[in-house]
Structure 1
Amino acid sequence: MTIRGIDVSSFQPEQYDTGGLAFVFVKRTEGMGYTNPRASAQVAHGRASGLVIGHYHYPRIHDGAAADADYFLGRLGADLRPGDILALDWEWNGQTGVSNAEADAFKDQWLARARQKAPGHRIVTYADRSNWLTVDQNSNVGDGLWIADYVTAGKPRIKAKWLFHQYSSNPVDQDVANFADQAALRAWANPAAKYQPFPGASWFTTGRRSPIVAAMHDRLVAVGCNHYQSSRNKDVIGPGDIASYEAWQRKFGYSGQAASWPPGPTTWAKLHVPNV
């Protein structure tokens, strides 16, 4: 099962279409001399739309990996938040004199530098199919591979395990992520989080099956809001979850429509559902 996203750069507007999307990767920097002037606004727009945020860097191989990584990270500022993903756009089009060995070593060194400077963040590597198959020698991609291959979404022509697949550039760069839903992506992106991030009100649909639902069930029972008939299929959203969560919201003084399903971010944060 996959979820949809896009990646944007200065060629896209600040207020891009987020309909049906779960994530966005925003180009931040290129080499040590370019910063996307729209990046902060594009990140803010994606965050306001409830998307998981990724930040990516296009390298200049001859700059050196540490210097390139430092330039990228130094320009994220307050835009970088827990749960954001970092990405190396491992390409070097038009850069003369770059050998395959040099490009491969750059990748490994850049990933190590980013890990050192930004601990706690997932770091992935974007590669087109050609570079992945002919230049990469050790399959080191950090926390995951973001593969570009313009074929059917979710079916890139590689054998390696991938997390993100860029399958089209029309009308924008379009991607899918190999996660069951946005909540699963959000939890993966923030492994240090003690509690499950709020997955968004639209996530709480009757019949949804997820370990997050089971964890919520257990917490509602633990805090004395047990309106369940049984604990069978406790990982599936049903009427017991709705009644139990509405009881939890009433505990905080909410009433009427304000206390009704679905959950909101304030009461969800206070429920302390463990990150599963």
Structure 2
Amino acid sequence: MGIYGQDWSSYQSAAPDTSGLAFAFVKVTQGLGYTNPNWQAQRAHAASAGLVVGLYHYPDMANSAQAEAEHFLSVAQPRAGEVLALDWEGYDTANLSVPKAQQASFKDAWISYVQSAMTQHQVGLYCNKDYWLNVDTTSDCGDFLWIATSGLPAGQPGIQHPWMFHQFSATPVDQDYCALADQQALKQWALAKAAPTPTPQPPEEPVTPADAELFVETLMGHVLPDMGITNADGSQATRTVADFFEYLDLHNRTLLNQISALSAQVTALSAAVTALSQSGGTGTTPEQVHAAVSAALTAAGHTPAPAVGGTATVPAPSRPAGA
């Protein structure tokens, strides 16, 4: 269970032995002025061997974290599936005089900036057990922790925080372990934040004469027979596409006439209601209401219904006192 890798710097050749490895981390930059002269060849060598590639930066923490992050990214130009890391340790001359609190804030700021700039990459932290337990104050390691120990077995770094990589030895070269099941699982993890590749869509088929002929055949065979078109003598008429569109036009005009009739009726009823509201205290007879409705329908071009017999009157609406 688990897979193995190494991390390379200028101390290694441009083409280290990749036998038995699933991944390799390559040092790219240090501070704002140093670049590993072998990094591009080491990256290409690891990629050609099918390894998952990681790229890392060693900081000078007296500098701006953002400036160093920008410098690293401008040199590295990360590719899809490459993992990015900060090599956070301060035992060298450039960092010994930097206060530990400043080193801790540098770490958090560098990770935050690179994560925001490289949203499709896994961005994490390399540090040893001493820095993780005694200098770190936030447990912020970005997307993953790459923890280094000395004298502990691979996969047993002796910390409680979840980790992805364990550097368990520096002999004869820095040796690393990942607890994932196999290299394919590591590749999937490395690409987990990448945007999915859009699935190509087949081009739309152009409409052919055969398609048009099939459409007309379907129209003639299944739609037109239901239209009820007959000849003057009652025999079944020959239907054409023109008949179909004429039928649609007639159907639409029928609907418009029905809507117009309903509108006229609503207008007539409105007039009747107005008459009731203006009748004062005298009341309104059914004949008067019918006459008002009939007048409105006639004005709208519709034949009014005959009057309904009866002598009852419609009482006038009551009015509040003092109105």
- Compute the TM-score of the two structures, normalised by the length of structure 1: 0.68
Report the residue type matching 2:196 in the other structure.
Answer: K
Deviations 1:225-256 (A, max 9, x none): xxxxxxxxxxxxxxxxxxxxxxxxxxxxxxxx
Whether 2:24 is the aligned partner of 1:24: answer: yes
Instruction: Give the counterpart of 1:84 among 72, 82, 86.
Output: 82
2:136 match: 136
Contact 2:26/2:39 (8 A) holds in 1: yes
**Larger Cα Rg: Structure 1 or Structure 2?**
2
Q: Which amino acid aligns with 1:88?
A: L
**Which residue of structure 1 lines up, in the alignment, with residue 146 of structure 2?**
146
The residue identity in structure 2 corresponding to 1:91 is: E
Shift of 1:193: 5.1
SS of alignment partner, residue 15 of structure 2: coil
Name the counterpart of 2:196: 194
**What letter corresponds to residue 85 of structure 1 in structure 2?**
V
CA contact (8 A) 2:10 2:39 kept: yes
Q: Indicate the SS of the match to 1:10.
A: coil
Partner of 1:49: 49
- Verify: 1:168 aligned to 2:136, yes or no: no
8 Å CA contact 2:120, 2:195 repeated in 1: no
1:103 matches 2:103? yes
What is the identity, as a one-letter code, of the residue corresponding to 2:158?
Answer: R
CA deviation profile, 1:157-176 (whole Å, cap 9, x unmatched): 11111100000010100000
1:176-222: per-residue Cα shift (whole Å, max 9, x none)?
01211111110011112537xxxxxxxxxxxxxxxxxxxxxxxxxxx
Distance in 1 separating the partners of 2:107 and 2:179: 23
Task: Look up the SS of the partner of 1:109 in the other structure.
Answer: helix
> What amino acid is aligned across from residue 187 of structure 2 in structure 1?
R
Structure 1 residue 119 displacement after superposition:
1.8
Q: Name which structure has the greater RCO, CA cutoff 8 Å, separation 6+.
A: 1
CA–CA separation in structure 2 for the residues paired with 1:108 and 1:2: 29
**SS in structure 2 opposite 1:63?**
coil
Structure 2 distance, partners of 1:14, 1:29, is 16
Letter in 2 for 1:178: A
CA distance in 2, matches of 1:47, 1:193: 21
Moved more, 92-101 or 110-119: 92-101
RMSD between aligned residues: 1.1
Cα distance in structure 1, aligned partners of 2:179 and 2:163: 7
Does the 8 Å contact 2:66/2:110 carry over to 1?
yes
SS in 2 for 1:75: helix
The aligned amino acid for 2:86 is: L
The structure with the largest helix share of the pair is: 2
Give the counterpart letter for 1:157 in structure 2.
G
Q: Distance in 1 between matches of 2:162 and 2:117?
A: 26
Structure 1 residue 97: deviation in Å?
A: 2.2
Spell out, residue by residue over 1:50-80, the C-alpha distance to the aligned partner (whole angstroms, 9 max, x if none): 0000000000001110011011101013xx2
AA matched with 1:109? A
The secondary structure found in structure 1 opposite 2:80 is coil
Equivalent runs, 1:181-220 vs 2, <5 Å:
181-191=182-192, 192=194, 194=196
How far is the alpha carbon of 1:3 from its aligned partner? 0.6
Cα offsets for 1:78-128 (capped at 9, x unmatched): xx2111000000012222321121111001100011112222100010010
Equivalent residue pairs, number: 193
Provide the residue aligned with 1:233 in structure 2: none
Measure the CA separation in 1 of the matches of 2:127 and 2:76: 22
User: Within 5 Å, which residues of 2 pair with 1:248-267?
Assistant: none
Does 49-58 or 155-164 show the bigger shift?
155-164
Q: Give the gaps of 5 or more residues in structure 1.
A: 196-276
After superposing on structure 2, the runs of 4+ consecutive aligned residues of structure 1 that deviate more than 2 Å are: 192-195
